[in-house]
């Protein structure tokens, strides 16, 4: 390979001063500089005449030998910089030391057993932490620091985390999915610096308790409503105060609101449609959904709720009564016993008269479906068409009929809109969030928002659920613990079954919930950190082990904090 010798110190002494000062090298002087097509090679010599033994700490100036050491420095303009440093090996003069000789290091430039400088190592650690190994390897090659994907992983694993557990005062703890529904991990972060501290290999109480014992000086721990984490914190850090996350509290309240709406949907529909322009008998059908309950249904309903009040799970109740879990869920989702839901084998049989008249007139499938909807029926178009092909296999509509849906009149449009809106999932959005469907910039309300607000004003049940939800939300966001106690006391005697269950579930965890009002700490930082963990995990195709995943997320967080 051809090379070009730029200069030597013997002819131009200023190169020594310029290059060394420019690169920030200390304790060395440059005596040779070469330029190659793809690299720059600098020859250096140490200016130190003595060094400390790394094993016993005794200083020695007795030179045993000298050798040349090759290390890689930060590249310049895409060209690799290779340093060939002439260093000394000294004799250890301590007779009690087990090592007779040791090699001297250039402070801030070289490290023991390293083939790259301190500057290049720190640069690689900051670059390679957030990215995948193959991507990092390609980036380093283009920058003049060629490393393999295996070396990238080795560099990340060897990063010194420098975590002082004794200085941590506030913690956040939460779980995240490695394989959703199958495998989970627990993440612990510093609530003050938002820096990840540890990834626990599971979310079991024993593993979490073992990890938390390192942070005995922590005064506050923020968590969600998990009883497992609550017990682990109580046993590992008995003097630490637990704080229930406010977001999860409000979310749990909203979930019980939605469950109550499912139980009371029949009453809600009756209240909302009582004064509607579209009569109930012509609009949404409220009757005939369930068969009358038998004696066995009434007896089973009582046994299911009796076992549920004892704290048994759905699986345990099903095993105790020798019934299916779906039967148990059906009884638990209702406030009174009823029979099985009416489910005709074919939707066509329910509207056979309308279908026969449409077939006689040669109407298309769409036209027949519109006649059924206009009469107050409920059937999916695909289900109707599929059923008609079975009942009338030889029927073929007249060509050109029903190919396009005819425009519905105002009454039918209103029926369809109410049918779409009056569901527990849809109404839950408008009950718990009065601003849903309102443009934040212009204040303009959507048609569905106006229709939902009209239905809520007509329904006492929906108004009561909204008032309960918003009052709890204000209580949690406020600063009065007494308001929380008053809310729980009031709602334990509520007319809504699910609200009573939610209010009673707050009592065992009342200390952590009161602390949520007293302190400003929350699980917000760890929720954001969990998203970063999942992004890093996906970039590695889910093959990262816990130690490597923790290293990468710490480097990723550190990079964002420093604005790199």
pLDDT digits (tens, 9 = 90+) for 508-529: 999 999 999 999 899 988 988 8
Burial class (CB in 10 A: 0-12, 13-18, 19+), 342: exposed
Q: Under the phi-then-psi rule, with left for phi > 0, alpha for psi from -120 to 50, and beta for the rest, what region is 50? A: beta
Helix (H) or strand (E) holding 52: strand 51-52
Confidence of residue 399 (pLDDT cuts 50, 70, 90): low
Which of these, 398, 386, 390, 387, lies nearest to 359 by C-alpha position? 398
Candidate from 226-230, 239-243, 262-266, 392-396 with smallest mean pLDDT: 392-396
Tell me: pLDDT of 401 over 70: no
Tell me what pLDDT residue 285 has: 41
**For residue 122, what are its two tokens?**
């720190």
DSSP helix/strand/coil, 122: helix
Share of the chain above pLDDT 90, in %: 28
Question: In Å, how far are 74, 153, 262, 449 from 556, measured between CA atoms?
Answer: 21, 14, 44, 42
Euclidean distance between CA atoms 489 and 248, whole angstroms: 21
Q: Hunting for tokens 């009929």 — which residue is that?
A: 401
Share of the chain above pLDDT 70, in %: 86
Residue with more model confidence, 21 or 249:
249
Tell me what pLDDT residue 499 has: 93
Tell me the DSSP string of 363-379: --HHHHHHHHHHTT---
Euclidean distance between CA atoms 533 and 539, whole angstroms: 10
Tell me what pLDDT residue 80 has: 87
DSSP label at 116? B
Q: Per-residue pLDDT tens for 174-209? A: 998 888 888 888 999 999 988 888 888 889 999 999
Instruction: Mention the CATH class of domain 165-245+522-561.
Output: alpha beta
Which of these, 456, 458, 423, 447, lies nearest to 275 by C-alpha position? 458
Tell me: pLDDT of 282 over 60: no
Q: Under the phi-then-psi rule, with left for phi > 0, alpha for psi from -120 to 50, and beta for the rest, what region is 101? A: beta
Tell me: pLDDT of 289 over 80: no
Euclidean distance between CA atoms 240 and 220, whole angstroms: 6
CATH of domain 293-340: 1.10.10
Residue ranges, comma separated, of all CATH 1.10.10 domains in the chain are 293-340
Give the number of other CB atoms < 10 A from CB of residue 323: 16
Candidate from 14-23, 404-413, 418-427 with smallest mean pLDDT: 404-413
Tell me: pLDDT of 34 over 90: no
**pLDDT (average), residues 110-127:** 87
**pLDDT (average), residues 120-129:** 85
Q: Per-residue pLDDT tens for 132-150? A: 888 889 988 888 888 898 8
Tell me what pLDDT residue 42 has: 87
DSSP label at 475? H
Euclidean distance between CA atoms 464 and 495, whole angstroms: 10
Tell me: pLDDT of 111 over 70: yes
Tell me what pLDDT residue 398 has: 64
No. of helices (H) and no. of strands (E), the chain: 24, 13
Residue with more model confidence, 381 or 83:
83
Candidate from 134-148, 156-170, 245-259 with smallest mean pLDDT: 156-170
Considering the entire predicted model, what is its pTM?
0.66
Residue ranges, comma separated, of all CATH 3.30.420.10 domains in the chain are 165-245+522-561
Residue with more model confidence, 362 or 217:
217
Helix (H) or strand (E) holding 546: helix 546-561
What's the whole-number average pLDDT of the chain? 82
Tell me what pLDDT residue 12 has: 46
Tell me what pLDDT residue 403 has: 44
Cα 51–55–59 angle (5° rounding)?
Answer: 30
Confidence of residue 276 (pLDDT cuts 50, 70, 90): low
Torsion, Cα 358 359 363 367, to 10 degrees, reads 50
């Amino acid at each position: 390979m051809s090379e070009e010798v730029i200069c030597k110190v013997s002819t131009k002494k200023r190169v020594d001063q310029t290059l060394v000062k420019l690169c920030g090298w200390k304790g060395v002087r440059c005596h040779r500089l070469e330029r190659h097509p793809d690299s720059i090679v600098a020859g250096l010599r140490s200016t130190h005449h003595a060094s400390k033994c790394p094993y016993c700490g005794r200083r020695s100036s007795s030179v045993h030998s000298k050798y040349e050491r090759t290390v890689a420095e930060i590249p310049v303009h895409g060209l690799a910089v290779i340093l060939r440093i002439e260093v000394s090996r000294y004799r250890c003069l301590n007779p009690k030391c087990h090592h007779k000789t040791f090699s001297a290091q250039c402070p801030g430039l070289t490290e023991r057993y390293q083939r790259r400088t301190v500057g290049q190592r720190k640069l690689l650690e900051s670059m390679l932490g957030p990215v995948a190994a193959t991507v990092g390897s390609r980036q380093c090659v283009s920058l003049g620091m060629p490393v393999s994907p295996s070396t990238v992983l080795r560099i990340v694993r060897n990063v010194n985390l420098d975590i002082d557990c004794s200085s941590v005062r506030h913690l956040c703890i939460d779980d995240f999915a490695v394989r959703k529904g199958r495998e989970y991990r627990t993440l612990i972060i510093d609530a003050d610096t938002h820096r990840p501290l540890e990834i626990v290999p599971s979310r079991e109480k024993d593993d979490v308790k073992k990890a938390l014992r390192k942070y005995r000086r922590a005064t506050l721990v923020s968590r969600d409503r998990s009883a497992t984490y609550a017990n682990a914190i109580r046993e590992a850090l008995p003097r630490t105060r637990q704080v229930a996350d406010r977001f999860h509290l409000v979310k749990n309240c909203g979930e019980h609101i939605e469950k109550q709406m499912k139980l009371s949907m029949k009453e809600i529909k009756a209240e909302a449609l009582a004064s509607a322009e579209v009569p109930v008998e012509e609009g949404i059908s409220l009757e005939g959904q369930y068969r009358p309950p038998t004696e066995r249904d009434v007896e089973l309903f009582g046994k299911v709720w009796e076992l549920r009040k004892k704290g048994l799970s759905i699986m345990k109740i099903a095993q105790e009564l020798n019934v299916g879990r779906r039967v148990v869920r059906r009884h638990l989702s209702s406030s009174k016993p009823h029979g099985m839901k009416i489910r005709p084998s074919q939707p066509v049989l329910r509207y056979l008269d309308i279908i026969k008249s449409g077939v006689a007139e040669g109407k298309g499938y769409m036209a027949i479906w519109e006649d059924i909807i206009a009469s107050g029926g409920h059937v999916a178009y695909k289900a109707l068409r599929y059923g008609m092909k079975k009942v009338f296999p030889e029927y073929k509509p007249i060509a050109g009929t029903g190919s396009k849906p005819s425009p519905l009149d105002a009454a039918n449009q209103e029926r369809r809109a109410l049918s779409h809106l009056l569901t527990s999932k849809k109404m839950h959005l408008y009950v718990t969030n009065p601003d849903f469907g309102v443009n934040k910039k212009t204040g303009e309300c959507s048609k569905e928002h106006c229709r939902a607000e009209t239905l809520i004003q007509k329904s006492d049940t929906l108004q009561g659920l909204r008032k309960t939800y918003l009052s709890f939300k204000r209580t949690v966001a406020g600063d009065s613990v007494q308001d929380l106690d008053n809310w729980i006391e009031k709602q334990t005697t509520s007319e809504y079954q699910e609200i009573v269950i939610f209010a009673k579930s707050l009592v065992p965890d009342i200390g952590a919930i009161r602390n949520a009002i007293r302190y400003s700490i929350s699980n917000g930082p760890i929720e954001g950190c969990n998203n970063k963990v999942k992004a890093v995990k996906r970039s590695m195709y889910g093959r990262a082990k816990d130690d490597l995943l923790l290293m990468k997320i710490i480097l990723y967080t550190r990079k964002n904090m420093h604005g790199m």
